[in-house]
Amino acid sequence: NISYIRFHETNRTFGSTNAIGVSLEDPDGNIFTSENLSVLKNISDEIEGLHNVQNVDSLTSIDYVCSEDDSIVAAQLISSDLFTEDESGRQFFSGTQKDIDEIKLKIKSWNEMYERFIVSENNDAAQVMITFDADVTEDDGTVHPITTAERETLLRSVEDVVERNTKGTKLA
């Protein structure tokens, strides 16, 4: 089937079009709290490590394009320096309210990039966008299109990560 072959060629050239979206909403209407940013960071980091995950875009992992010394550079929207790691490997947002205000200003400066993709218009929710492989490489080097069972396994893994990281928080 020619369209099937073109689909896989496009995925190899431009990246996968297979995606999972996870939305997290704060019942108090503010996704920009230390606790919520910590939860988002841990979810994003864990999902990045799952088998077949190609890319994760979230508030804590997406790039911010800006100018620096007469050059255009891409840096993280939220610097990893604003997180500290405890002895168990969990990340905690250690930034100040000033840091949160600066993050909001960055988002506002490029609304068309972030709003309704990574953060809701009224800042009460955030989304984690997960792109996963269209093709799976086995241990022996063989490659095959991702199966329905492999997609379902990935989805269950994502659900487990989200449930474990939101348990006991407002985002639960």
10 Å CB burial of residue 7 (0-12, 13-18, 19+) is middle
Instruction: Decide which of 155 and 66 is more confident.
Output: 155
- pLDDT tens digits, residue range 159-169? 999 999 999 99
Instruction: Please report the DSSP string for 32-95 in residue order.
Output: -SHHHHHHHHHHHHHHHTSTTEEEEESTTT-EEEEEETTEEEEEESS-GGGEEE-TTS-EEE--
Q: Which residues pair with 63 in a beta bridge?
A: 76
pLDDT, tens digit (0-9, with 9 covering 90-100), for 126-159: 999 999 988 888 889 999 999 999 999 999 999 9
Compute CA 35 distance to the chain's CA centroid, rounded to the nearest angstrom.
Answer: 17
pLDDT tens profile 2-40? 544 554 555 556 555 689 999 999 999 999 999 999 999
pTM: 0.84
Q: Using CA atoms in the order 149, 62, 171, 103, what is the torsion angle rounded to 10 degrees?
A: 180
